[in-house]
């Protein structure tokens, strides 16, 4: 029996706030709520960054399931520190995190801050999370009563959050066995601050679907005049005999959004904002999910570009590393098989045999190494002009490992410095098509420098324009 989640997420800015500092994500195997510190600059940045750095866990085969969720949240905290280093105006930002990861028949739960997690299982409704607040500490120590806690002047003071105030924040970590039918609700404190818990329980119990429950919780909070942002994520455990309403895209839809190639990943990993946004959108477009709040804004509109850029760089780098590791494993596989063969030789022939084998291996490596280089391509410079080469950009002494395949009239000095540096080093490609895609991108970038004449004004491009302005874009 394979388990997965039916899911829904809803969020609203509330009745008072000007921007939404909450972020939420729900998918087949992951649910997250993050409430950015609304009183600080960058609360939306903190919550969006954290959620977007966790969404890649939403798949059934997570490595090291016992520790991955906690490790990824700690990594998200490091990224928040990096964002502050890059932009000191974000100093002091922070976010809560309440996350649930389904691995096999277990839930991995991680929590910090005052967002909450509730579970409805076997007819029992209970709060799973513990608020990391000053008032909760006073309650645990018996210094105030629950009634006093509801009106305490410092009830909103949070003791533990992710952010630049703590290099290694302490998380509450738990593990729970999972059964089909159980329901979990994660929410920011915008809900529990105004909706009585018994009413929250009633809404979850009586809703016909997880989507109805999430929407009803947010709507009820707004009806009660919520002064804070409000976010709810509701998930229900299903087995493979059930069909949830949230289905993945069809193959035809997925074909309209092809996976990013190596060239695109390299550009994204180097910090290109548009490429980073494309990486994030592609990754989430190919799995059923619901993304809400500041994280949705960051992904779709780019209005929080520092989040989109940093998360895109990280995912692009991870995908590149995966491709490189796979390519290296594929390249080493034949040699590994060769080395597992145990030659049986007479003792007197051992040394000469080893010598012959070594010479043969060396010759084979050189031959196949050179042959392999000729299956590769790269974009580089030919006498100061942009070109595509067959081979690799390195040479071995007098031995040339590349030759010009396609050249253009684009001089390197008309390109931005980023492209000049990349072309000087050579932009590698797995095949000719990938190299030509890169070449087309560069030619189009160069043509942005060309003067365009309006139709009817004597042509489309000035006759005195540089040669590359009238050059056909390579196909």
Task: Band the pLDDT of 82: cuts 50, 70, 90.
Answer: confident
Cβ–Cβ < 8 Å for 260, 319: yes
The 10 Å Cβ neighbour count of residue 89 is 9
Compute the Cα dihedral for 450, 454, 460, 465 and give only its sign. negative
Q: What tokens appear for 68 in the block? A: 């991955």
Contacts (Cβ under 8 Å, ≥6 apart) of 7: 26, 27, 28, 31, 210, 233, 234, 235, 236, 244, 246, 289, 290
Per residue in 219-236, pLDDT (tens digit) is 999 999 989 999 999 999
Residue length of the chain: 475
Which pLDDT score, from 0 to 100, does residue 183 have? 98
Per residue in 160-179, pLDDT (tens digit) is 999 866 667 899 999 999 99
Residue range 384-412: mean pLDDT, rounded: 85
Q: Is the pLDDT of residue 276 over 50?
A: yes
Residue range 169-197: mean pLDDT, rounded: 95
3-state SS class at 348: helix
The Cα–Cα gap between 391 and 382 comes to 14
Bigger pLDDT: 458 or 340?
Answer: 458
Using a cut of 0.85, tell me whether the model's pTM lies above it. no
Cβ–Cβ < 8 Å for 171, 193: no
Q: Is the pLDDT of residue 153 over 80?
A: no
Residues forming a β-bridge with 190? none
Task: Band the pLDDT of 393: cuts 50, 70, 90.
Answer: confident
Q: Is the pLDDT of residue 388 over 50?
A: yes
Residue range 118-123: mean pLDDT, rounded: 97
Which pLDDT score, from 0 to 100, does residue 38 have? 57
Q: Is the pLDDT of residue 70 over 80?
A: yes
Q: What tokens appear for 346 in the block? A: 């007479």
Task: Band the pLDDT of 87: cuts 50, 70, 90.
Answer: confident
> Cα–Cα–Cα angle for 358, 361, 363, nearest 5°?
110
Q: Nearest 10 degrees: CA dihedral of 285, 289, 188, 194? A: 120
Residue range 248-258: mean pLDDT, rounded: 45
Task: Band the pLDDT of 253: cuts 50, 70, 90.
Answer: very low
Please state which of the ranges 99-108, 110-119, 329-338, 401-410 shows the lowest mean pLDDT. Answer: 329-338
Which pLDDT score, from 0 to 100, does residue 255 have? 43
> Cα–Cα–Cα angle for 396, 397, 399, nearest 5°?
65
Q: Is the pLDDT of residue 185 over 80?
A: yes
Task: Band the pLDDT of 329: cuts 50, 70, 90.
Answer: very low
Which pLDDT score, from 0 to 100, does residue 236 have? 97
Bigger pLDDT: 363 or 176?
Answer: 176
- The pLDDT mean for the chain works out to 80
Residue range 335-362: mean pLDDT, rounded: 56
Per residue in 300-326, pLDDT (tens digit) is 776 666 676 666 666 666 656 655 545
Q: Is the pLDDT of residue 336 over 50?
A: no
Residue range 379-387: mean pLDDT, rounded: 90
Per residue in 52-67, pLDDT (tens digit) is 999 989 999 898 999 9
Nearest of 44, 46, 40 to residue 293 by alpha carbon: 44
Which pLDDT score, from 0 to 100, does residue 342 have? 41
């Amino acid at each position: 029996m394979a388990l997965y989640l039916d899911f829904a997420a809803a969020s609203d800015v509330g009745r008072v706030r000007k921007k939404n500092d909450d972020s939420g994500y729900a998918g087949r195997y992951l649910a997250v709520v993050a409430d950015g510190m609304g009183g600080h600059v960058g609360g939306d940045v903190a919550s969006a960054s954290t959620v977007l750095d966790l969404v890649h866990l939403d798949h059934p085969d997570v490595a090291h399931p016992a520790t991955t969720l906690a490790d990824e949240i700690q990594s998200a905290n490091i990224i928040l520190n990096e964002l502050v280093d890059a932009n000191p105006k974000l100093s002091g930002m922070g976010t809560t995190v309440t996350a649930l990861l389904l691995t096999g028949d277990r839930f991995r739960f991680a929590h910090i801050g005052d967002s909450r997690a509730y579970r409805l299982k076997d007819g029992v409704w209970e709060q799973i999370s513990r608020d990391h607040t000053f008032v909760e500490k006073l309650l645990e120590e018996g210094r105030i009563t629950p009634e006093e806690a509801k009106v305490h002047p410092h009830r909103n003071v949070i003791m533990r959050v992710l952010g630049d105030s703590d290099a290694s924040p302490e998380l509450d970590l738990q593990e729970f066995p999972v059964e089909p039918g159980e329901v979990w609700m994660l929410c920011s404190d915008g809900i529990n601050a105004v909706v009585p818990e018994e009413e929250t329980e009633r809404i979850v119990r009586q809703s016909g679907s997880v989507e109805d429950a999430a929407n009803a919780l947010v709507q009820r909070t707004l009806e009660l005049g919520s002064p804070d942002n409000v976010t709810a994520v509701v998930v229900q455990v299903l087995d493979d005999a059930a069909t949830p309403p949230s289905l993945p895209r069809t193959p035809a839809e997925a074909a309209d959004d092809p996976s990013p190639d190596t060239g695109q990943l390299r550009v994204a990993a180097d910090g290109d904002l548009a490429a980073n946004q494309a990486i994030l959108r592609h990754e989430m477009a190919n799995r059923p999910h619901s993304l809400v709040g500041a994280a949705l804004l960051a992904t779709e509109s780019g209005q929080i570009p520092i989040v989109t850029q940093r998360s895109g760089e990280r995912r692009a780098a991870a995908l590149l590393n995966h491709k490189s590791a796979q390519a290296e494993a594929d390249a080493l596989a034949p040699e590994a098989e060769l080395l597992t063969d145990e030659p049986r030789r007479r003792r007197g022939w051992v040394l000469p045999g080893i010598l012959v084998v070594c010479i043969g291996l060396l010759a084979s490596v050189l031959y196949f190494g050179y042959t392999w280089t000729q299956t590769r391509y790269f974009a580089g410079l030919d006498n100061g002009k942009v070109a595509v080469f067959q081979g690799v950009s390195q040479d071995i002494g007098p031995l040339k490992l590349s030759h010009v395949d396609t050249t253009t009239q684009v001089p390197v000095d008309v390109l931005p410095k980023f492209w000049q540096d990349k072309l000087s080093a050579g932009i590698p490609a797995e095949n000719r098509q990938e190299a030509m895609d890169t070449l087309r991108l560069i030619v189009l970038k160069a043509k942005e420098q060309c003067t365009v004449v309006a139709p009817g004004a004597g042509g489309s491009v000035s006759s005195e324009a540089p040669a590359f302005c009238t050059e056909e874009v390579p196909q």
